[in-house]
Amino acid sequence: MKILIPADQIQQRVAELARQIARDYHDRPLTIVGVLTGSLIFLADLVRHLDLHLRIGLIQASSYRGETTTPGELTISPELLPELRGRHVLLLDDILDTGQTLVRLVERLQTLEIASLRTGVLLRKIGRQQVAFEPDYTGFDIPDAFVVGYGLDYNDEYRHLPYLAVLKDE
């Protein structure tokens, strides 16, 4: 696999994003909602940099199954969400691809009487968006390639890699 973003560059950018988030939420309690499973490593590294009053919640949303590299039907499982009513929420995902997942999740969270909602993504894939959506925080813009590592997978493999790489024989 060809390394697209090395581990040290990811860690540097995550720290920069954390500083930006800390400035934005310095006086407000925050709930970060990570989208399972791809955002777990990003979420863990990000919160280690945050000295904020915060809670962590999780929501499962998936449109990729098994060995596919193209999105299918989106399924959302909110069972792991904490009470969000009146909370400031940061929805954190691994990648903004077509935008369908994030738009649906934002719509879902906005029905929960939250105080505010912002979104953050580690990666934004250039040229793939099918809906107009701009995340509040973006780690990296990447080309239209199927990437793995740092939480992103192919057939539930490669999440453990500390870097981001383009999957061979995409």
Domain boundaries, the chain: 2-166
* CATH architecture of the domain with residue range 2-166: 3-Layer(aba) Sandwich (3.40)
Question: Tens digits of per-residue pLDDT, 95-127?
Answer: 999 898 899 999 989 999 999 999 999 999 998
C-alpha angle 40-46-48 in degrees, rounded to nearest 5? 105
pTM for the model stands at 0.89
Question: Tens digits of per-residue pLDDT, 12-42?
Answer: 999 999 999 999 999 899 999 999 989 999 9
Identify the active-site residue in 45, 97, 141, 153.
Answer: 97
Q: Where are the alpha helices (DSSP H) in the chain?
A: 7-24, 40-48, 100-110
Tell me how far apart the alpha carbons of residues 150 and 126 are, in angstroms, rounded to a whole number: 19
136 included as an active-site residue: no
- Note whether 102 and 124 are within 8 A (CB): no
Q: What pLDDT does residue 170 have?
A: 47
